Amino acid sequence: MDRKGKLLLAVPALLAAFAIALYARMYRVFLWGWWLDEFDPYIRYYLAKYTLEHGVGWWWGGAQFTQFWHPYGVDWGRVLLPGTSLYGLFVYALLRPFGVDLWHAVIAAPAIMNSLAVFSMFYLGYRVGSELGIPNGGVRVGLAAALLTAIAPAFVERGFAAWFDDEPISLFLIPLGLALLIDGLRRPWTGALAGAALGYVVWTWGGHFYVWNLVGLYAMVLPAYYYLKLALAKPGKKSRPPELPFDARNFFLSYLLFYVVYAAFVAAIPRYGVHTVASAFNILPTFGLASAALTWALGLKLGAAKTAELLRRYIWAVAGVVAVGVAVFAAAIAAGLIGGKFLATLLPFGRSAIVASVAEHSTTQFIQILSRYGPIIPFIVASLPYLFTPSGLLALSYLVTAGYSAATMVRLLVLLAPAALLATAVGMVKLVDNRRFGHIVMAAAVVSTVMLFSAVMPTVSQGQGFVQGLARQPTQIATSAVGVVSDDFVDALMWLKTRLPPYEPVASWWDYGYWISVVGNKTSLADNSTINATQIGKIGLAFMAPPQIGAAIFTRQFGTKYVLAIMPYAIYPVTLSTGQQVPLLVHEYPPGGDFLKSYWMTKIALENVGYAADVLKARGMSPEDYIYTRVMSFPGPPPNTAYAYFTIGGSYYPVPLDLNRTLYAMLFSKERFFPIYGNYSQFLPWIFEGVEQPGGGFTSFRSLRLVGGNVYLPTDITPQLQSLGAYVIKGWDRGGVDVVVDPLTNTTQRIPLVTADPRPLRLVYVSKPYGWVVVYEVEGS
């Protein structure tokens, strides 16, 4: 096929793929409204807005933001990267003439960039496919990769409109940069363009360290593979001496240009600076530079044949050099030069509580891999024998290393996406080219593609209506961060914004810091970027200490008198063994509130605050197992008998054993129900509380004998907790609430009830419509 024919085939197909990609990625905001998703995009928007108002220079000159990390504040230029915010401003500049404001521009920005990835993936697929040795292999692989990019869940899930974060930009730039790097084997100057494309990833995503080292690894793998292939080849009669299938000079020059440009991007950012170029993160890229230089020098002095002969003779010396390189890298890890989530990716064990508490930092489950890559795994496996080409080795190195990274940390499944889809395209094209099985493979490829598309877009099923797809899932704030659509958190943020003074400090667990500061216009104590583990540990300690101590920590150490918490709950009708049906309150239904996170609050406090064990009275025992809840999979089952939990409806729920904790008193105090249910609140017991009996008696939870339910207590109860053998939940208080019974005269009636006592905290707000979010004020502060 000539150039014109390729253009006539590729251009319409790519435009169609781009249109499909853009529609799939914009669908979400049309359905749920123009809200940013998750938490991080809110700070990206905030900094884009601040840059628009104050200019770009503050990223390098410094600026102290006192609305975050109270009471210390933070210089975001040294903590975060400017790439996402600057890209948002670029999109805003393009759309502003059409009347689009910054808020809507940054919501649309990720969908636009991630949709453009169909073109960069085509480019990468074209370069890899051109070396497969089949007719029009480049165009065919490129188009297959582009179509998969438009619809694959692994690409789309972090590329939706509203996901104004680092991944949508990186998923466009990484394939582009790698394709330019491959082009550098023919045109060395494209190495500088590769450095610029991947260099902008430096300004965008912390995952750039992987890309940096991937390119360095490729610079070592490429010559090593072909020299070993020549050295181990059987001698025979050949008309020409053996040669490398790439130009060693071009290889060195393109990598050198990449190395210099990329290092310049790293050094130019305040968060990294020149010291990062000289750090352990640059060991592998520097080895790659040495490998490229040595390859060129050997080619000039000896040629490929003599070099292969020397390699055959001194293979032990090469093995020694490799061993030294591995030892240097291991020494860097042992010396603590590589740590945090980067070390957790390399060595997925022994993670700190701070790292482990983040859901996207957890070890990947096999079902998570299947949900994103299941239909295409056979094609990925089929592609492996065809990736041993100069460009294919880059794809293979990417696939293997990103596959390992994705297996150790669930967030990095998105990093694997370009390599996985490229390998899938290669596997599909090569198998379809098979004369015997091509038609069968084509049918399988179509089925796999349809399965991927149906996982993204809502599909219609007769009698079922819409089947949920990724594009139909609501944004995080629309679900109050618990996965079920609710306006509770939006209502809470509007209350904070309109009822409290501007920039008033409000304490919460770190998940909600960005929302409180950016949407609620208040001052938060911690957020997703807080690197001060002691700060987070003290917040956890305040929540898990008794209310008097917790209130003192919030007011004296953090200077805040308002505390926010969230816990979803539902009213569940339960039939007792007597046949009586009673309404019970089921906590953490749906799951995702602060009660389930209280395990991490305790663990982080004990790891990072020296006096936490004394405050929590945890000497010689494991409070996260017995006094508080313990994190567990939902709906279960719990992994062992060291859990206190109950079952109902086939689901497992952890049980609080001591309500005399700041967080538990806030969440389980029944005062929160009166704004929602009025006087009926007194008849709503918690599922673990028991039922009030006629005449003032009280039936314990254990004696309820729920139909289909049961209670399980730890079998290894420590001596300090022997009283728990009778299952006495500590911290109950027989209190009451004054309820207005006559709005005309404001006459009140005291409603008695069994509840938790949050004093000295006083309830000041309950969210609508479900009452999931509460705000308390410390009295007398």
pLDDT value at position 653? Answer: 72
Between CA 659 and CA 730 the distance in angstroms is 6
The backbone torsions φ and ψ at residue 750, rounded to the nearest 5 degrees and listed phi first, read -80, 120
pLDDT value at position 196? Answer: 97
Between CA 712 and CA 702 the distance in angstroms is 10
| Res 4 pLDDT > 70 | yes
| Res 523 pLDDT > 60 | yes
pLDDT > 70 in the chain, percent: 80
pLDDT value at position 21? Answer: 92
pLDDT value at position 298? Answer: 86
Average predicted confidence (pLDDT) for the chain: 82
The answer to whether 608 touches 533, Cβ cutoff 8 Å, is: yes
Secondary structure (3-state) at 735: strand
| Res 198 pLDDT > 70 | yes
Give the pLDDT band of residue 774 (cuts 50, 70, 90). Answer: very high
752: buried, middle or exposed (CB in 10 Å: 19+, 13-18, 0-12)? exposed
pLDDT value at position 342? Answer: 54
Q: Which residues pair with 766 in a beta bridge?
A: 774
| Res 69 pLDDT > 80 | yes
Q: What is the pLDDT of residues 71-81, one digit of tens each?
A: 999 999 999 99
* 532: DSSP letter: -
pLDDT value at position 311? Answer: 75
| 564-588: average pLDDT | 80
| Res 204 pLDDT > 50 | yes
Between CA 583 and CA 684 the distance in angstroms is 6
2 vs 641 pLDDT, higher one = 2
pLDDT value at position 706? Answer: 41
Q: Which residues pair with 465 in a beta bridge?
A: 461
780 vs 284 pLDDT, higher one = 284
Between CA 524 and CA 508 the distance in angstroms is 8
| 463-489: average pLDDT | 75
pLDDT value at position 697? Answer: 45
pLDDT value at position 353? Answer: 61
> Please, what sign has the CA dihedral across residues 642, 584, 661, 592?
positive
340 vs 29 pLDDT, higher one = 29
pLDDT value at position 460? Answer: 42
Point out the least confidently predicted range of 107-116, 340-349, 355-364: 340-349
pLDDT > 90 in the chain, percent: 47
Alpha-carbon 170 to chain mean position: 14
* 497: DSSP letter: H
| 27-43: average pLDDT | 90
Q: What is the pLDDT of residues 684-726, one digit of tens each?
A: 888 777 555 454 444 445 444 443 344 444 434 344 444 444 4
pLDDT value at position 343? Answer: 56
pLDDT value at position 347? Answer: 60
pLDDT value at position 712? Answer: 44
pTM assigned to the model: 0.87
| 49-67: average pLDDT | 94
Point out the least confidently predicted range of 178-192, 244-258, 466-480, 721-735: 721-735
Q: What is the pLDDT of residues 242-294, one digit of tens each?
A: 788 899 999 999 999 999 999 999 999 999 999 999 988 898 999 999 999 99
Tokens (6 digits) for 258: 């990449």
Q: What is the pLDDT of residues 424-445, one digit of tens each?
A: 999 989 888 876 666 676 777 7
| Res 655 pLDDT > 80 | no
| 3-15: average pLDDT | 86
Q: What is the pLDDT of residues 296-315, one digit of tens each?
A: 988 888 887 787 777 777 77
* DSSP letter for each residue of 506-529: EE--GGGHHIIIIIS-SEES--TT
